[in-house]
Structure 1
C-alpha cells in the first residue's frame, strides 16, 4: 500500500533521501522518452515494450518512495489508490478484458501526489527551475538546427518503432513528429518561420501542456523563489509558449495570468465546479454557435467532444462497454468517463477539489490544476502522459502537504496585510522547518 508521509520536526537523512528521489522521479518522467529516442536513433532499435518497461520502473519507484520517510501513515490518497485498483479489477471482470493502461492513467494521480508531499519545497523549486532550463535548451536546439536535432533524435522514427505504425503516420519530411507542422498558419506569430517545437517531449502537445503547468508553478510559488529565478523562468516559458504554438496553452495561460491578482479572492468552490461547468459550457456553445466536428481546430475539437459524449449509452457511462473507446482520443472527458465510469470520475474530481485550500498558494494551484484539467479534457487525453502528469500531481501534492501542515497547527488563511509574507502563506516543508523566499534557496543545498 502507498503510505503518506507524516509531518516531522526536522529533516532526517531518510527524509532528505526521499526528497532527492522525488526530484529524480520528476526528471525521469519528463526525460525518459528523450533518452529512449536517443537510443533508438543511435544505438539499437527499440519497441513498445521498452517504453512500457521504462515507465513501469518509474511508477514502481514512485510507489515505494514514501517508505523512505521515517514517519508515515495511510491517508486519503492511499485509499484513492486502493479504490481505483479495486474499481479497475471489478470493471475488468465485467468487461471480460483487462487493460492495465486504464488503471495506470488514474493511479498516477495518487502516486505522484504522494511523491509531491515528500518534496522539500525550496529544493523542489530549484530542481524544477533547472529542468525548465534543460527544456528550453533542447527547444532552442530544435529551433535553430532542426536537422542536427533530428540526426540525434529521430522523433518520427522513434514513434513509428515504439507505437507499431508506419513512419508516415508519425513524421513529416524533416523527421519531426507529424503535428510539428500545422495544415494552416501558425496560431502565434503566423509569419514566424518556425515549426511547432517539441523539445524533450518529442511532440508539441506535451510541450504546450508543460507550459501551462510551468505557469501554474511560477504564479503559484513565485514568492518562494529569488526574483532573478522567476524572471528567467518566466522569459523561458514565454519562449516555449511561442515555440510550441499551442492554442490551448495560450488560452490557459491568459486565464491563469488574469486570475493571478485575484487569487486571494478566488472562491474555494471554483475548482470543484470547474469540470461540470466546463462540460455544460461546451454543450451550450456547440448548440448556440452551431459548431461542427471535423475541423482540426479548437471549435471543431470541442464539437467532436460533445458529439462523442452524446453517443454514450448507460453502459458507456457505467464503464461497462468500451465500444466508443477508440473515439475518445480527442475527447478527454469522454475517455475518463468511459474508462472509469461516470461515478468514479465524479469521485476522483471530488476527492481532488472538495477540500478547501488553507493557503493562498494552495488556493491558486488548485484553481490552476482544475482549469488545466478542464480545458485539456475538452479536446484531448494528453494530460495522462507521464511526461507532464508527474509535474502536475507533484505540484498539487506540494500544496496538499502545506494545507495539512497548516491545518495541524490550527492555522487559517492569512489576512490581507499578511499577503507579503511568504512564511504566512505556505509552510516550507512537511518537516516544520521555516524559510522565506530567496534565503531559503540560498542556504539549501540544491537537489
Structure 2
C-alpha cells in the first residue's frame, strides 16, 4: 500500500542518519529523555490520537493537521539534539538542499519532502546516541505493551474499536483513500486491514479470520515493520534475563502474525540467517545488500518487459509487487535515474524508485556509503547496522512504508542507543569522531577490527 501521509525515505535516510556527531564542552553525557523517549512514543501514537479526535468530531482532521503534528515532533527532537550536530552534517545538508532545489527547477514533480524524511532518521538517531542502551530496551517494551493492548482490543472487540477509532474516515479525510472507494470489509478499518475472498490470510486463518490487526499504527503494514524492528533489536542486543529476551522475541513474532505481514515474517527469517553468519560484520555486505537487491529487481524487470505498456501492478501480491518494482526501474531513462525527470509511473509502491527519482542515484549511493562507513562503537551497533540494511533492502522492493515516522523514529532511536557508548579510557573519541568522515578508503568496506571487536 502507498504510505501516503507517512513520511520516509529508505537507504538515503538511513545513511544521513548516521553521520558522526560533535561533543560540546559542558554538554550532559545523556539526554533528558534518557529512559523511555516520549518523542519516539509520540511519533508512533499521534495518528491514533488524531483518529480518536476525528471520530469524536472534536475537529475534522485532515492532512495539514497531521503534517503539523509530525513537524512539531521532529522539531522538538531537533531541539533536543541541536548541540550534537557536527559541521560535516551542516555542510552535507546544505549541499543536498541546493541539489534538491536545483533538481526541482528541472523536475517540478520532484518531492522535496524527502529532505524531511532524512531529517526524521537523523534527529532520532542523534536522540538515541544521547540516551543509553537500556533506555532503548525500555522504550521497546513500552511500545510493545501499548501495541499488544490496543491490538488485542481491536481483535477481540472490532466493532467497538471501530466506533472509537473510525480509521476508514480518518484516511479518507487525509487523502489516502478516495471517498468513492468501496469498503468491501464493511468495517471502519483501513483498506488493507482485511484479507478477504481469494487473498486469504497467511497465518492462522481459522483463528483470526480475514482480519489483519493494525493496533496503534492504524494500518497493518506498520505493525509488520515494527515486528521486523523488534527482531533486529533482539538479535543485536542481549539485555536482561534469557527468559525476558525470549519473550520479546515471541512478542515480535506475534506482531507479524496479528498483522499477517508476509514481509515481516520473511525479513525476520533473513535477519536470523544473516546474524548466524559472520557476514553481518562486513561493511561491504551492508553496502552491497540494497544495491544487489535493486539490480536483481531490474534484471527481473528486463526479463518481463512489455514494450509500449507502462509498468503497473498486475497482481496485488508479493510476486506481483516485485515484478512491478523491477519493470519500473527497467522502464526508466537516465533522466529518471538522476532525478532530472519525473517517473512515468507513481513510485509510492516501490521504495527504490521513490528514493532514486527524488534524490538521484549518485546522491543515494553517497548517503548509503556514509551509513556504511559510519563507525560502529559496539557489537550491538555492528549487528543493528546489518539488520537495518537487510530491513530496507527487502522492504523497498514492495513499498515505502518503512519511512513513516510511526516506525522510523523508533528504528533510528534504537540504533542510536546501540552507538551511544564511549569507553571512559577513550576521552578523545568524541572529539575525533567527525574527522573520521573525511577518510573514504575503499578498504573500509571490508571487515575491520572495529567490526570484529
Matched, 1:305 2:317: no
Q: Determine helix, strand or coil for the equivalent of 2:224.
A: helix
Report the counterpart of residue 354 of structure 1 in structure 2: 373
Q: CA deviation at 1:40?
A: 0.5
Deviation at 1:382, TM superposition (A): 1.1
Q: 2:46 aligns with which of 32, 41, 48?
A: 32
With over 3 angstroms needed to count, the CA separation of the structure-2 counterparts of 1:379 and 1:168, relative to structure 1, is: same
Distance 1:59 1:408, change over 3 A: same
Contact 1:188 1:245 in 2 (8 A): yes
CA distance in 1, matches of 2:301, 2:109: 35
Deviation of 1:380 after TM superposition, in Å, equals 0.3
CA distance in 2, matches of 1:99, 1:225: 43
Contact 2:136-2:414 within 8 A present in 1 as well? no
Tell me, in whole angstroms, the C-alpha distance in 2 between the residues paired with 1:23 and 1:113: 12
Distance 1:265 1:242, change over 3 A: closer
Q: Say how many residue pairs are matched.
A: 408
Contact kept, 8 Å, 2:48 with 2:218, in 1: the verdict is yes
User: Which among 145, 157, 161 is matched to residue 169 of structure 2?
Assistant: 157
Which residue of 236, 243, 263 corresponds with 1:220? 236
Does 2:140 correspond to 1:128? yes
> What secondary structure does 1:178 align onto?
coil
- Aligned to 1:180, the other structure's residue is in SS state coil
Distance in 2 of aligned mates of 1:256 and 1:124: 19
Contact 2:111 2:358 in 1 (8 A): no
Does the CA-based 8 Å contact 2:77-2:124 persist in structure 1? yes
Q: Whose relative contact order is higher, 1 or 2, with alpha carbons under 8 Å and at least 6 apart?
A: 2
User: Residue 201 of structure 1 aligns with which residue?
Assistant: 217
Q: Which residue of 2 aligns with 1:432?
A: none
Structure 1 residue 408 and structure 2 residue 429: aligned?
yes
For residues 8 and 264 of structure 1, the distance between their equivalents in structure 2, rounded to whole angstroms, comes to: 36
Deviations 1:254-306 (A, max 9, x none): 11122333358643321111111111223345567999951111111111001
Structure 2 counterpart of 1:118, from 104, 109, 130: 130
Report the Cα offset of residue 63 of structure 1: 1.7
Selected match of 1:246 from 219, 238, 261 = 261
Q: CA 1:259/1:403 → structure 2, altered by over 3 Å: closer, same or farther?
A: farther
Alpha-carbon distance in 1 for matches of 2:25, 2:123: 24
How far apart are the structure 2 equivalents of 1:285 and 1:88?
Answer: 30
Q: 1:412 to 1:62 in 2, by over 3 A?
A: same
Structure 2 counterpart of 1:270: 285
Equivalent residue for 1:48?
Answer: 63
Counterpart CA distance in 2 for 1:310 and 1:288 is 10
C-alpha distance 412-267 of structure 1, shift in aligned 2 (>3 A): closer
Contact 1:293-1:307 within 8 A present in 2 as well: no
Change (3 A) 1:82 1:18: farther
Q: Cα gap change, 1:116/1:87 in structure 2, threshold over 3 Å: closer, same or farther?
A: farther
Q: Is the 8 A contact 1:37 1:158 kept in 2?
A: yes
Give the Cα–Cα distance (whole angstroms) in 1 for the partners of residues 376 and 94 of structure 2. Answer: 24
The TM-score with structure 1 as length reference comes to 0.82
- Indicate the residue corresponding to 1:378 in structure 2: 397
Match for residue 102 of structure 2 among 56, 78, 90: 90
Aligned equivalent of 2:315: 295
Q: Residue 72 of structure 2: which of 45, 57, 62 is its match?
A: 57
Shift of 1:318: 1.4
Q: For 2:333 and 2:402, locate their aligned partners in 1 and report how far apart those are by CA, in whole Å.
A: 25
CA shift digits 1:1-49 (9 cap, x unpaired)? x99755589994x8441536x8111011111101100100113321111
Q: Deviation string for 1:228-275 (max 9, x for gaps)?
A: 432332222122111111111111001112233335864332111111
Distance 1:280 1:99, change over 3 A: closer
**How far, CA to CA, are the matches of 1:288 and 1:152 in structure 2?**
48
RMSD of Structure 2 on Structure 1 (CA): 3.2
Counterpart Cα distance in 2 of 1:15 and 1:365: 21
The structure where helix makes up a greater share of residues is: 1
Farther-moved stretch of structure 1 (389-398 vs 34-43): 389-398
Unaligned stretches of 5+ residues in structure 1: 416-424, 426-447
- Equivalent residue number for residue 211 of structure 1: 227
- What SS does structure 1 have at the residue aligned with 2:203? coil
The answer as to whether partners of 2:267 and 2:391 remain within 8 angstroms in 1 is: yes
2:182 and 2:391 map into 1 onto residues whose CA distance is 26
Q: Quick check: 1:199–1:207 contact (8 Å CA) kept in 2?
A: yes
